[in-house]
Structure 1
Amino acid sequence: MTGRSGSGRDRSSPRRGQGELEAQVLGALRDAPGAVNAGWVRERLGGDLAYTTVITILTRLRVKGAVTRERTGRSFAWTAVADGAGLAALRMRKVLDAESDRAAVLTSFVTTLSVDDERVLRDLLAQESREGED
């Protein structure tokens, strides 16, 4: 027994958390000198991922609006348009959009915020209100 699963992943290695791989791919793209191909991203992440996995993550990020792509020959060059905070905001928006009672979701979310987070949210809302008056 070699300790390898059929997927080639070592069973003793920890699995990445949800969204962790997306964040790593997005971080690599943000550090890129410009639009880059999936092979470049794969190399920056250590090369232990399958090329198809990188393509899948890039495609998911594109659907979420976090990256764009342009055709270059037979492949694509990818560019980040969102940072880590932007990606988290997109995820939060997706969850909110999936619920029928938005007010209940927002209420539940806000009531669990720390005092500091609540202060930041209040400041942002006040700033938005002031800018709307101009």
Structure 2
Amino acid sequence: MTRLGELERAVMDVLWDGVPDTSGGVTVREVAEALDGRELAYTTVMTVLDRLAGKGMVQREREGRAWRYRASATREAHIAQLMLDALDLGGSRDAALVRFARSVTGTEAEVLRAALTAEAAGTERPAPPQAR
């Protein structure tokens, strides 16, 4: 999975966070309006969404003359894949995992421990809400 540039990340945030009443996806215009503080041209937003579609980050569906876009995966799935990709960069995965485990907070360690326990038991435990 490729890392996203700053503008691509901003566009994905719009898709992940959702524009109200857009469960069927969003148009280029709706994304541009959600990014109104950036003063971006419509064509710039259209190009970014087209590139994100090419990367498999978004799915698009034709609606009349326009496209409707939605994220292909959740933000959490994207971040998890980035973490897995980082582990594949080389060296020892075990050493990287140990170093990571030593760097997390107590609360984060509890979340990881619970997820690993649930995985070992073959159950799925919903992730707790994260504070930003």
Residues 49 and 94 from structure 1, CA distance in 2 versus in 1: closer, same or farther, beyond 3 angstroms? farther
Q: Which has more radius of gyration?
A: 1
1:25 aligns with 2:25: no
Q: 1:36: which partner in 2?
A: 26
SS in 2 for 1:92: helix
Percent identity over the alignment? Answer: 35
TM-score by length of 2: 0.63
Paired positions, count = 116
Deviations 1:73-118 (A, max 9, x none): 5553211343433332233233233x12322322221111111111
Q: 1:60 to 1:125 in 2, by over 3 A?
A: farther
SS class of match (2:25): coil
Matches within 5 A, 1:72-91: 72=63, 75-91=66-82
Q: Distance in 1 between matches of 2:57 and 2:117?
A: 27
Q: Equivalent residue for 1:94?
A: 85
In the alignment, does 2:101 pair up with 1:110? yes
Q: 1:17-72 CA deviation, whole Å, 9 max, x = no partner?
A: 68751453224546424122212211122162233442354345446654311234
Deviates more, 1:102-111 or 1:84-93: 84-93
In the aligned structure 1, how far is the partner of 2:42 from the partner of 2:84? 29
The worse-fitting range, judged by mean Cα deviation, of 76-85 and 51-60 is: 51-60
Are 1:26 and 1:83, in contact at CA under 8 Å, matched by a contact in 2?
no
CA distance in structure 2 between the aligned counterparts of 1:110 and 1:22, rounded to whole angstroms: 31
SS for the counterpart of 1:100 is coil
Question: SS at 2:24's partner residue?
Answer: coil
Structure-to-structure mapping, 1:51-62, within 5 angstroms: 51-59=42-50, 61-62=52-53
Unmatched runs of 5 consecutive residues or more in structure 2: 124-132
Q: Which has the higher contact order (CA 8 A, sep 6+)?
A: 2
Distance of 1:59 and 1:93 partners within structure 2:
26
